[in-house]
Structure 1
Amino acid sequence: MIYYSLPLKLGRLCEKKDHEHCSLKESISQHLYLIITTALGDCLYDETFGCSIWDSDFNNKINDSRLKEEIKSGLCLSIKNHENRLDNLEIEISFSQALIGVGENVTCMKKKLDLKVNGRLAQTDEPFAFSGYFFMGPLSYY
């Protein structure tokens, strides 16, 4: 089976050139990243595609343990619904504080969400692991 890497380069397809390929594990990782970085409701063709992380991004009234559980359950549901190449999902979430440089001497503190998704490939039963991190709160991306 052929898996295409993200982002899609539609110009290459219009020019009838081949698009870059990737492995099954890379394809799943890229798809998970797309699910995680998409807010629920952003995709017009499927409003369930995405992740509830971004619903909680500015919520300062919820404690971290409840926030972890909400993010974990929402992410688990979204991955189960949209990434059927994975089985036996296990999701770990942790929060930490990180200093972010803005300019030469100015720094700010951001809440950092560390995320690990482990599972097994449905086709081959091989182990699969994905990890990433995101900064939460206002102006948390560059």
Structure 2
Amino acid sequence: MSTTFYKKPFDFRRLFSNQPLETCDAGISISQHIELIIFSRFGEHRFNPAFGCEVWELDFELIVNESMWEDKMSQSIKRSVRAQEKRLYNVDAFIRIEDVEKVFPLRRMTEIKKKVEVTVTGKLNATGENYTFVTALFLSPLSSE
């Protein structure tokens, strides 16, 4: 049985002009779904209050111990992806934090943000192939003059 996966964001102009929506393969569809899980807060979607992850709660948490924070974040993402993305098994998540500094010379200001690199790995249920998803988030805007 063939399943059709749609590319996001939807181009509703195509739909209203009686053209089919753009499709994508299963890997891209899974990546889009994981991205949606990571960028959603628990309770944000009325159809499923358990959809999302703790990224938004952890964003404002003071990072005293980076390794503990990374572990807490990776556990949250792993739990959420395992619960919400049924096309994968053997799911694992890895987090790496680094400070990124951006200098604005004209305003004599430096902005420091936390860059969080998220890697999710697993295997596709349909084929057993390895699957990897990587994205980066920027947290905690900190500015100095």
Range of TM-score over shorter length: 0.7 to 0.9
Provide, for residues 17-52 of structure 1, a one-character-per-residue CA deviation record: whole Å limited to 9, x for no partner.
211111110111111111111111111111111110
1:67–1:127 distance in 2 versus 1, CA, 3 Å:
same
Partner of 2:132: 129
- Counterpart of 1:118 in structure 2 is 121
User: For the residues of structure 2 that align with 1:15 and 1:127, how far apart are their CA atoms?
Assistant: 38
Confirm or deny: 8 A CA contact 1:110 1:135 kept in the other structure: yes
Alignment partner, residue 53 of structure 1: 55
Partner residue of 1:64? Answer: 66
Q: 1:80 aligns with which of 72, 79, 82?
A: 82
Q: After TM superposition, where is structure 1 displaced by more than 4 Å over at least 4 residues in a row?
A: 101-106
Cα distance in 1, alignment partners of residues 30 and 104 from structure 2: 33
Checking the alignment, whether the CA contact within 8 Å between 2:37 and 2:81 is kept in structure 1 is: yes
| C-alpha contact 1:89 1:120 (8 A) present in aligned 2 | yes
Q: TM-score, normalised by structure 1?
A: 0.87
- Percent identity over paired residues: 30
Decide which moves more: 11-20 or 78-87: 11-20
Match of 2:22 among 11, 20, 23: 20
Larger radius of gyration: 2
TM-score, reference length from structure 2: 0.86
Look up the match of 1:29.
31
Contact 1:58 1:138 in 2 (8 A): no
Alpha-carbon RMSD: 2.0
**Alpha-carbon separation, structure 1, partners of 2:79 and 2:9:** 24
SS of equivalent residue, structure 1 residue 56: helix
Query: AA paired with 1:129?
Result: T
Q: CA deviation at 1:102?
A: 5.7
Q: How many residues align?
A: 139
Alignment partners' CA distance in 2, 1:104 and 1:132: 31
Shift of residue 90 of structure 1? 1.8
Partner of residue 93, structure 1: 95
Q: Runs of 5+ in structure 1 lacking a partner?
A: none
| CA distance in 2 between partners of 1:17 and 1:103 (Å) | 49
